Chains A and B, each alone.
Chain A
Amino acid sequence: MKRRLFCETLAGTGFLLGTGAAAGLSRAWAFQDTSNLSHVEARYYKKHPDREIECLLCPRLCKLGDKERGYCGVRQNDGGIYYTLVYGKACAANVDPIEKKPFFHFLPGTDAFSIAAAGCNVNCKFCQNWQISQVRAEQVPHADLPPEEVAAAAEKYRCPSIAYTYTEPVVFFEYMYDSAIAAHKRGLRNCVVTAGHIQPEPLQDLLKVVDAVKIDLKSFQQDFYREYVRGDLQPVLDAIKAVGRSKVWLEIVYLVIPTLNDRGEDIRNMCRWLAREVGSDIPLHFTRFHPMYLIKNLPPTPISTLESLRDIALEEGIHYVYMGNVPGHEAENTYCPRCRSVVIQRYGMQVKSISLSKGECRTCHNPIPGIWA
Chain B
Amino acid sequence: MFGPGGALDRLKISEMLSLGFRKLTGTREAGQGLARLFAQDARVGIKINTIGGRKISTRPELSLSLAELLVKNGWPERNVVIWDRTNRELREAGYKLSDSPNALKVFATDTAGAGYETEIVSHRNIGSLFSTIQTNFVTASISLAILKDHGLAGITAGMKNYFGAIHNPNKYHDSHCDPFIAELFDSEPIKAKHRLSILDALLVQYHRGPSFHTQWAEPCGALIFSLDPVAADAVGWRLVEQLRSGNGLPSLKEEGREPVFLVSAEKLGLGRAGSDSIEVIEDEV
A residues lining the B interface (CB < 8 Å): 25-31, 33-35, 50-52, 62-73, 123, 125, 130, 134-136, 138-139, 230, 293-294
Contacts and interface: CB of A to CB of B under 8 A. Distances in A.
Contacts of A33: 88, 110
A136 B169 CA distance: 9
B210 A294 contact: no
A132 to B, nearest CB: 12
Contacts of B151: 52, 63-65, 68
B170 A70 contact: yes
Contacts of A25: 118
Nearest to B210: A65
B115 interface: yes
Contacts of A73: 168, 170-171
A138 B213 contact: no
Interface residues of B, number: 30
Contact of A293 (B86, B113, B120): B120
A139 B53 CA distance: 21
B170 A71 contact: yes
Given A62-B173, A71-B171, 15 more contacts: A25-B118, A28-B115, A28-B117, A31-B112, A50-B208, A52-B151, A52-B208, A65-B209, A68-B151, A71-B170, A123-B168, A125-B127, A134-B168, A138-B110, A294-B122
B210 A230 contact: no
A298 B127 CA distance: 17
B193 interface: no
A50 to B, nearest CB: 5
B132 interface: yes
A52 B207 CA distance: 13
Given A51-B211, A65-B209, A65-B210, A27 B118 contact: yes
A136 B110 contact: no
A68 B171 CA distance: 12
A186 to B, nearest CB: 35
Interface of B: 51-53, 86, 88, 110, 112-118, 120, 122, 127, 132, 151, 167-168, 170-171, 173-174, 208-213
Contacts of B112: 30-31
A29 B115 contact: yes
B210 A68 contact: yes
Nearest to A25: B118
Contacts of A230: 171, 174
B257 to A, nearest CB: 11
A72 B209 CA distance: 20
A67 B211 contact: yes
B208 A67 contact: no
A32 B154 CA distance: 32
A67 B52 contact: yes
Nearest to B122: A294
B210 A29 contact: no
B91 to A, nearest CB: 11
B206 to A, nearest CB: 14
Nearest to B110: A31
Contacts of B116: 28-29, 139
23 contacts: A27-B115, A28-B115, A28-B117, A31-B112, A31-B115, A33-B88, A33-B110, A50-B208, A51-B211, A65-B151, A65-B209, A66-B211, A67-B210, A68-B211, A69-B170, A71-B170, A71-B171, A73-B168, A138-B86, A230-B171, A293-B120, A293-B127, A294-B122
Nearest to A26: B118
Contacts of A136: 167-168, 170
B54 to A, nearest CB: 12
B217 to A, nearest CB: 13
Contacts of A135: 167-168
A294 B116 CA distance: 17
A31 to B, nearest CB: 4
A65 B205 CA distance: 13
Contacts of A130: 120
The 6 closest A-B pairs by CB, nearest first: A28-B115, A66-B211, A31-B110, A294-B127, A73-B170, A65-B211
B49 to A, nearest CB: 12
A25 to B, nearest CB: 7
Contacts of A125: 127
A261 to B, nearest CB: 19
Contact of A28 (B113, B170, B174, B208): B113
A120 to B, nearest CB: 9
Contact of B53 (A65, A67, A69): A67
A29 B192 CA distance: 24
A295 B168 CA distance: 18
A35 B88 contact: yes
Contact of B114 (A28, A68, A138): A28
A69 B89 CA distance: 14
A367 B100 CA distance: 71
A128 to B, nearest CB: 14
A26 B119 CA distance: 11
